Amino acid sequence: MNRTGRIRPLAGLLVGMLLVWAGQAAGQTVRAVMDTEVKYLDPHWTTADISQVHGYMVYDTLFALDEKGQPQPQMVDTYRLSADKLTYTFTLRDGLKWHDGRPVRAADAVASLKRWAVKDAAGQKLMARAASLEAVNDKTFVLKLREPYGLTIRTLAKVFSYVPFIMPERYAVQNPSKPFEGEVIGSGPFMFAAKEWVPGAKTVYVKFKDYVPRKEPASYYAGGKRVNVERVELVVIPDQSTAVAALEKGEVDYMQRPHVDQWPLLRKNPNIRVYQSDVLEMHIHPNHLAPPFDNLKGRQALMLMVNQEDYLRAIAGDPENWRTCYSYLGCKGWLETDAGADLLKKPDLERAKQFLAEAGYKGEKIVVMAPSDIPTTNAASLTTAAQLRKLGVNVDLQAMDWGTLTSRRPIKDPPSKNPGGWHIFHSRSGYEEVKDPWGHAPISTACDKAWFGWPCSPRATKALEELANVTPGTEAFRKTLTEYHVALMENIPYVPLGEYYVLAAYRKDRLSNILETPLPLFWNMVKK
Amino acid sequence: MLAYIVRRILAMLPVMGIVVVFVFLLVRIAPGDPAAIIAGDYATPENIQKIRVGLGLDKPIHVQFGIYVMNLIRGDLGRSLHSRLPVRQLIEQRLEPTVALAVSTLTFAICLAIPLGILAAWRAGSLIDRAVMVFAVGGFSIPVFWLGFLLIYAFSVKLDMLPVQGYVSFRQGFLPFIRHLILPTVTLGLVYMALLARITRASVQEVLQSDYIRTANAKGVHPITVLFVHALKNAAVPVVTTIGVGFALLIGGVVITESVFALPGLGRLTVDAVLQRDYSIIQGVTLIFSFVYALVNLVVDLSYTLFDPRIRY
């Protein structure tokens, strides 16, 4: 055989091997379309959901919630609570490493918790009770409390913003008011591929080969985080129709939040599976400092005008996409109760008109801020405007983008005193958030320290504090929960408009073993 | 000529200065608080204020402007308020898709529009002329995003001939690069083509009435030579002007096209920056676009000398 005769088969073999390798590499890459881009790399800096998604990829947490909503150890191997319920001793698991190869130490955990608690409401409540939080050695740290706090572990298992991610001490000691400076180094199951990051377009994560998952199977945010893919690309496709077309064609494998008008199309496709990833609750937030909503009758009028089914139909379409819910604390959750919800359950426009008059409303303009760039919130705003008009209210419906709304909602003055003032805006909360009133900012009734709207109810605030120290499942817990919910219903921090579902979609011919969590998680997932 | 070029470049400086001041003030006057957007929905007012201080947005506006100008003089466009990456780096990352789209659109539009316009002018009043004009009106009237969706549905979803979205650099292969650009180019190019075809037709039709064209025809010069050598060259000035003015149309269209086809270009960077109130990026991109537009106008003005020897600077 001559030289050419020897080279050709070798070249063919080489090309074949390269093609197989390329195919495998491509096959082990998951491309996911996210709701928004990864902009912020420091999950302690912002409450944006996408930053928490990024956080779950590259960082780990001490505890996490399982599918039953119970806190489970994650980075923690064992923990002990002293007999007087004042001292928690945590020991980290073996084999935890940072992405740069250094071992994870207790000092990293301590610094991270301190940084996280500066901004997180639930963390602040925990640290307000803490006498000290210190590392004893490289694997053990101790939290000493001044008084028992039944929510300690649940707080550390928090799964929504701000999630208590653990980062290296040298980053955690930096100013929490600014994003940390330096590389993104975590101990989570994926590593951030900084060189491939195109903010606004693509964020890439690669498998961290030295990650040691827990032995138990994955369960919601807890359990073993086994990574079965080599690479995850989070992409942004701004237009929904284009994103759905890309999923149908197989250019992407997963889509975080298709709009409700795309669901019928996705459900019809035999290669695509849609699943319920989250439940959201929409609210009407009245300004408790602006007449007539500074008067309880004014807020009760709002509650009486609400027919949840009308709102949910406007927000989410067909009844299969939503459910009514008369609880401030989520339905089908561990805190569900509808104690005191009579006004909400029985809409009555005539009575609402009467209450509005009793609140002193005399025909002045009521400013409703409507974010036209968020379809669901805008739908709720338009429905509220229509309902208010039925009550004879002089509605000033102001359309704006969400960015403008967030800059106006801190204005406490009513519109009569400040042109930027407002009476009503709408927002939504996630399922995990409403089930955690200690961390759910919108439900705070701390008066001028409360969230926008500034609800004020010392009775509700006190009941919430007491609820934190009562053992769940007991009669005392049920009574305190009832007292808390009745106090909320008698103050009306906001008007709950019911719950609607969020779906995610993926190519079922390519992906399997997806964890059906509110935030997309990419461990456990298998790509064929 | 060189003196003219230098004068024009120097004249750009006060224009850029006005743009700098105008954009700086405009983004800060517009409602919206980048600190609140960064902090997220559940941040407290205290946390938002801390972010504001951390970003230097609490400083008086004239101080912020002074810092911005000093950095600009050093060639520093600042850092994104959100990602904290240098604006220059972000622009460099996004430049290639936008340049690729702009060049392919221009090429596509010019290569098709000019022959169509000439054809329409040559056969003025005929069915061909009317067809070209209907196409021109239609092309100009069709919303870019609607056309984009239609093309995606037809060629990507139904016929499975072309990708739906995304961008592949030419460094990763010429064929994938071209395949990803075809639909966005046609989408954006159609509007531009419609405008150019109309102007070309009008301009060529006027020139075709000239004595020298009549003489050339009488001498038996081939019609193609008459059209493309004599007529087009003399009709080129308004056409080239339209190409330059239409560049602004292109920039606006690029924003929409990049959103529909998920191209990671400067257009999308701008839209995202506006929605997020990322002042640094808005200022940086506006400055770049203004500079490029001024440069395009200079090139257009200089090109007149190629088509009309009577024009000298």
Q: Which residue from A259, A221, A160, A244 is spatially nearest to A502, judged by alpha carbons?
A: A259
- Taking CB atoms and an 8 Å limit, are B262 and A178 in contact across chains? no
Residues of B with CB below 8 A from A251's CB?
163-166
Q: In this complex, which of A41, A177, A408 lies closest to B50 when CB atoms are compared?
A: A177
User: What is A416-444 written as a DSSP string?
Assistant: TT-TT--SEEEEEEEHHHHT-TTT-GGG-
pLDDT of residue B312: 74
Q: In this structure, what is the dihedral angle of CA atoms A322, A324, A326, A332, given to the nearest 10 degrees? A: -60
Interface A-B: count of C-beta contacts within 8 A: 141
Q: Please state the rounded mean pLDDT for residues B198-215.
A: 89
Test the B interface: residue of A45, A171, A289 with most B CBs within 10 Å: A45
pLDDT of residue A6: 52
Distance (Å) from the C-alpha of residue B228 to the closest C-alpha of chain A? 41
CA distance B207 to A218: 76
pLDDT of residue A1: 47
- Taking CB atoms and an 8 Å limit, are A427 and B41 in contact across chains? yes
pLDDT of residue A13: 52
- Taking CB atoms and an 8 Å limit, are A407 and B32 in contact across chains? yes
Q: Are the C-beta atoms of residues B118 and B207 closer than 8 Å to each other?
A: no
Which residue did the predictor score with more confidence, B313 or A308?
Answer: A308
pLDDT digits (tens, 9 = 90+) for B49-78: 888 888 889 999 999 999 999 999 998 999
Q: In chain B, where are the structural domains located?
A: 87-277
CA distance B44 to B46: 5
B261 touches chain A (CB under 8 A): yes
What distance lies between CA A148 and its chain's CA centroid?
28
Read off the DSSP letter of residue B19: H
Residues of A with CB below 8 A from B45's CB?
410
pLDDT of residue A27: 58
Three-class SS of residue A121?
A: helix
pLDDT of residue A364: 96
The pTM (predicted TM-score) of the whole model is 0.86
Distance (Å) from the C-alpha of residue B47 to the closest C-alpha of chain A? 7
B166 touches chain A (CB under 8 A): yes
CA distance B287 to B271: 15
Test the B interface: residue of A178, A196, A242, A448 with most B CBs within 10 Å: A242
Test the B interface: residue of A125, A239, A377 with most B CBs within 10 Å: A239
Q: Are the C-beta atoms of residues A316 and A265 closer than 8 Å to each other?
A: no
Omega into A520 within 30° of 0, i.e. cis? no
- Taking CB atoms and an 8 Å limit, are A40 and B275 in contact across chains? no
Touching B: A residues 121-140, CB under 8 Å: 121
What distance lies between CA A172 and its chain's CA centroid?
22
CA distance A197 to B90: 10
Instruction: For A412, name the nearest residue in chain B, comparing CA atoms only.
Output: B45
pLDDT of residue A153: 96
Is 0.90 exceeded by the ipTM? no
Architecture of domain B87-277: Orthogonal Bundle (1.10)
Query: Which residues of chain A have a pLDDT value below 50?
Result: 1-4, 7, 11-12, 15-25
Distance (Å) from the C-alpha of residue B100 to the closest C-alpha of chain A? 17
Instruction: For B162, name the nearest residue in chain A, comparing CA atoms only.
Output: A249
pLDDT digits (tens, 9 = 90+) for B212-240: 888 988 999 898 888 888 888 888 888 88
Q: Are the C-beta atoms of residues A504 and A274 closer than 8 Å to each other?
A: yes
Q: In this complex, which of B37, B82, B259 lies closest to A239 when CB atoms are compared?
A: B259
